[in-house]
Chains A and B, each alone.
Chain A
Amino acid sequence: MTPAQTLPMAASDRRLLVLVGIVLLALVTLPWLGSALIVDKLIYLFILVMFAVMWNLLAGYAGLVSVGQQAFIGLGGYALVRLVEAGLPPFPTIFLAAALTGVVAWALSWFMLRMKAGEFAVATWVIAETIRSIVMFDPIVQGETGTSLLALNAYDPDLRRMVLYLLSLGSMVVMVGGTWVLLQRRIGAESQAIRDDEDAAASIGISTFQVKQRIYIIASVGCALAGALWLASAITFQPRTSFGVQWSVFMLFMVLVGGIGTFIGPILGALLFFALQEIFGDFGAWYLAGIGIVAILFALYLPRGLVGLWLDRGRDEPLSLRKRLRLRE
Chain B
Amino acid sequence: MLDSLIQGILLGGYYAVLAAGLSLMFGVVRFINLAHGDMAVLGALGSLWLVQSAGVVVPLAIVITLIGMAALGWLMQRFIFERALAGGFLIPILTTIGLGAALQNGMFAAFGSNTQSLGAHIGNLSWSSWQLPGGIIVGQLPVYMFATAVLVLGSLHLLLTRTAFGRAVRSTSTDAEAASLCGVDPRKVHRWAAAIAVALAGLAGIFLAMRAQVTPFSGPMMLIFAFEAVVIGGIGSLRGTLIGGIVLGVVQALGALISPQISILAGHLVFLAVLGWRLMHVAASERGGWRAALKAVFNKPDLSRSQA
Contacts and interface: CB of A to CB of B under 8 A. Distances in A.
A–B contact, 8 Å CB criterion (strictly below): yes
Interface in B70-107: 80, 83-84, 87, 89-95, 97-106
Interface stretch (A30-38, A109-117, A151-159, A315-323): A109-117
B244 to A, nearest CB: 14
B91 A299 contact: yes
Interface residues of B, number: 45
Given A137-B261, A289-B101, A126 B109 contact: no
Contacts of B265: 130, 133-134
Contacts of A286: 105-106, 109
A115 B274 CA distance: 13
A126 B94 contact: no
Contact of A292 (B84, B103, B268): B103
B290 interface: no
B67 interface: no
B95 A300 contact: yes
A311 to B, nearest CB: 17
A129 interface: yes
B114 to A, nearest CB: 13
B5 interface: no
Interface in A269-307: 284-296, 299-300, 303
Contacts of A288: 101, 104-105
A289 B104 CA distance: 7
Interface in A48-99: 59, 63, 65, 67
Contacts of B224: 122, 125-126, 129
B269 interface: yes
Contacts of B91: 299-300, 303
B293 interface: no
A300 B272 contact: no
B268 A121 contact: no
B49 interface: no
Interface stretch (A16-24, A219-227, A244-252): A244-252
A130 B269 contact: yes
Contacts of B97: 67, 248-249, 252, 295
Nearest to A65: B93
B138 interface: no
A122 B268 CA distance: 12
Contacts of B106: 285-286, 289, 292
Interface string A110-147: 01001101110111011101100110110000010000
A119 B26 CA distance: 10
Contacts of A115: 275, 279
Interface in B274-304: 275-276, 279, 282-283
A67 to B, nearest CB: 6
Interface in A171-225: none
Contacts of A65: 89-90, 93-94
Nearest to B265: A133
A303 B98 CA distance: 13
Q: Secondary structure of the A side of the interface?
A: helix
A143 B264 CA distance: 14
Contacts of A122: 32, 34, 223-224, 227
A255 to B, nearest CB: 9
A119 B34 CA distance: 10
Contact of B268 (A59, A114, A129, A248): A129
Most buried by A among B31, B109, B264: B109
A264 interface: no
B267 to A, nearest CB: 9
Interface in B26-63: 26, 31-32, 34
Contact of B94 (A111, A252, A285): A252
Interface string B213-237: 0000000110110011000000000
B109 A59 contact: no
Contacts of A294: 98
A63 B89 CA distance: 9
Most buried by A among B26, B93, B100: B93
A126 B84 contact: no
Nearest to B36: A122
Most buried by B among A126, A129, A288, A295: A126
Interface of B: 26, 31-32, 34, 80, 83-84, 87, 89-95, 97-106, 108-109, 220-221, 223-224, 227-228, 261, 264-265, 268-269, 271-272, 275-276, 279, 282-283
Interface of A: 59, 63, 65, 67, 111, 114-115, 117-119, 121-123, 125-127, 129-130, 133-134, 136-137, 143, 245-246, 248-249, 252-253, 256, 260, 284-296, 299-300, 303
Question: 7 closest A-B pairs (Cβ-Cβ)?
Answer: A292-B102, A295-B98, A118-B32, A292-B101, A289-B105, A288-B105, A285-B109
9 contacts: A118-B32, A121-B93, A122-B224, A249-B101, A288-B105, A289-B101, A289-B104, A292-B100, A295-B94
Given A291-B98, A299-B91, 5 more contacts: A119-B32, A125-B223, A245-B220, A252-B98, A291-B102
